């Protein structure tokens, strides 16, 4: 995943607008928008500010498997019937 796309996913998941995240991180909204669109690069320092504003570490930012781990954890608590229903539902979305 491209860094800008990951920022956007995490920003939306956290309920931030571009403007509110940029303000909280102390960077310009224009720069954040350009990074999310892949039109600009982000420095490690600015990425750290964004991660701080999102309440995550840089390690967590790059660890996309955290979401997969969370799904596996939830799946392990489901009954076989619930798992089948969930799989059928997910297939219906394709």
pLDDT reported for residue 74: 81
User: Furthest-apart CA pair in the chain: how many Å?
Assistant: 49
**Residue the block writes with tokens 């403007």:** 19
Confidence of residue 66 (pLDDT cuts 50, 70, 90): low
pLDDT, greater one: 72 or 17: 17
Alpha carbons 59 and 28: distance in angstroms, whole number: 23
Asked if the model's pLDDT at residue 77 lies above 70, the reply is yes
Q: What is the pTM of this model?
A: 0.68
84: phi then psi, degrees, rounded to nearest 5: -65, -45
Alpha carbons 15 and 69: distance in angstroms, whole number: 22
- Provide mean pLDDT across the span 49-53: 97
**Residue the block writes with tokens 């491209």:** 2
Q: Is residue 53 within 8 Å of 86, Cβ to Cβ?
A: no
Asked if the model's pLDDT at residue 53 lies above 90, the reply is yes
Asked if the model's pLDDT at residue 16 lies above 90, the reply is yes
């Amino acid at each position: 995943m491209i860094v800008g796309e990951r920022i956007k996913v995490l920003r939306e998941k956290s309920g931030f607008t571009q403007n509110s995240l940029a303000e909280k991180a102390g960077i310009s909204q224009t720069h954040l928008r350009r990074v999310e669109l892949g039109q600009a690069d982000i420095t490690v320092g600015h990425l750290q500010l964004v991660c701080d504003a999102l309440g995550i570490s840089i390690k967590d930012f790059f660890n996309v498997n955290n979401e997969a781990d969370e799904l596996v954890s939830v799946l392990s608590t489901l009954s076989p019937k619930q798992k089948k229903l969930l799989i059928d539902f997910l297939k219906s979305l394709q």
